[in-house]
Amino acid sequence: MSDLKKIKDDFLLKLEKKLSLSEINEIKTNLFGKNGLISSQFKKIGSISESEKKKFASELNLIKDELQNQINSKINEIQSEEINKKLKKEKVDITLPERTFVQGKIHPVSQTIDEISSIFSEIGFSVEEGPDVETEYNNFTALNTPDNHPARDMHDTFYLDEKKEKLLRTHTSPVQIRTMLKDKPPFKIIAPGRTYRSDSDQTHSPMFHQVEGLHIDKDINMGHLKGCLNYFIKEFFEVKKIKMRFRPSHFPFTEPSAEVDIGYEIKDGKIFIGEGDKWLEILGCGMVHPKVLKNVKVDSTKYQGYAFGIGIDRLAMLKYGINDLRAFFDCDYRWLNHFGFDPLDVPTNYRGLSR
Ligand code: DAH
């Protein structure tokens, strides 16, 4: 058998096996590399007799072309096999169900705080904040609350140290003190936030929310207080008329002091705010006591004004028909899904304060 025939037969034998890309490349180098079998045959041409040369050269060229073609088609075959394998592996299974999209809800308390803030901001109130951990001085003493006042009792207040100097604020009223100590009058602020008392049942939770209001200027009187609260309650409950009464009360930081009740009635198990012959207490208020103004170095012969404190959770329960206060703080996702607000579909009297 001639050398050429042997090279070709060996090659065809190898090609019958399943080859990888690197194996076929190795075969290619063995044949066509610098010292490859085919390349060495070409080198031989010079030493062959003239009569044989032509035949040998044409045979060699034929074999060379044939082997090269076979190698190239084998390489193509292996490459397309690999691509197909890869494509199969990376196939997207369009029959998979889509991932569920969970949209968060705005908690009714956050929603109510936003509504209250936007209503008051429309009549010139700005929003102040104070810390949950307060000093005894800001929470009680500066607010003219005497040492023997029941609110100071351990049963009512969460004290944070033995000396009773630090506590969890029992109301948002200390923000009045912080605001007046930090700036000069006039003041026209509201302060929403968390408050704490040692109390827990269907209508009381140890943590709850209040919004404080304070308006101090040169000629502020109780008529302003009444007008402001009347406007707020109508806007908040989205009613045109509201039955409202001021009931004399006592708070150490206001003189005179009052509690405000609003009229309501229940029809077919539903509560209607604004009219009816029943009364519901919703807030405390009064004219800021001169002693409080003295404590924050505001001249009470020149400046005076009103303050109020509203329970936010109570308002939210009334407006949105929620009857157990404790559900607000249970962190039950199903409850939030039901009573919470869609951030993309905000209720009508939301006026666009950024949250
Ligand atoms: N701080 C009072 C409370 O928690 C509420 C209150 C009453 C606030 C009268 C006031 C006010 O600013 O003037 O019960």
Residue pair 135/166 in contact (Cβ under 8 Å)? The answer is: yes
Residue pair 39/32 in contact (Cβ under 8 Å)? The answer is: yes
Q: What confidence tens digit (pLDDT) does each residue in 33-47 have?
A: 888 888 888 888 888
pLDDT at residue 353, rounded to an integer: 44
Residue nearest to atom 3 of ligand 1 (CA): 171
- Could you tell me the distance, in angstroms and rounded to a whole number, from the CA of residue 202 to the centre of ligand 1? 22
pLDDT at residue 13, rounded to an integer: 85
Q: What confidence tens digit (pLDDT) does each residue in 166-192 have?
A: 999 999 999 999 999 999 999 999 999
Pairing mode, strands 207-217 and 187-196? antiparallel
- Could you tell me the distance, in angstroms and rounded to a whole number, from the CA of residue 308 to the centre of ligand 1? 6
Pairwise CA distance, residues 268 & 254, whole Å: 40
Phi, psi of 34 (to 5 degrees): -50, -45
* Position 355 pLDDT exceeds 70: no
* pLDDT band, very low/low/confident/very high, at 201 (cuts 50, 70, 90): confident
* pLDDT band, very low/low/confident/very high, at 354 (cuts 50, 70, 90): very low
* Position 195 pLDDT exceeds 90: yes
* Position 227 pLDDT exceeds 70: yes
- Tally of CB atoms within 10 A around 312: 24
pLDDT at residue 100, rounded to an integer: 85
Q: What confidence tens digit (pLDDT) does each residue in 249-295 have?
A: 999 999 999 999 999 998 888 888 888 899 999 999 999 999 999 99
pLDDT at residue 242, rounded to an integer: 93
- Looking from the CA of residue 306, the nearest atom of ligand 1 is 13
Q: By CB neighbour count within 10 A (0-12 exposed, 13-18 middle, 19+ buried), where does 118 fall?
A: middle
* pLDDT band, very low/low/confident/very high, at 3 (cuts 50, 70, 90): confident
196 vs 89, higher pLDDT? 196
- Looking from the CA of residue 171, the nearest atom of ligand 1 is 4
Length, in residues, of the chain: 355
Pairwise CA distance, residues 192 & 182, whole Å: 18
* Position 350 pLDDT exceeds 60: no
- Tally of CB atoms within 10 A around 141: 15
pLDDT at residue 140, rounded to an integer: 96
- Could you tell me the distance, in angstroms and rounded to a whole number, from the CA of residue 130 to the centre of ligand 1? 15
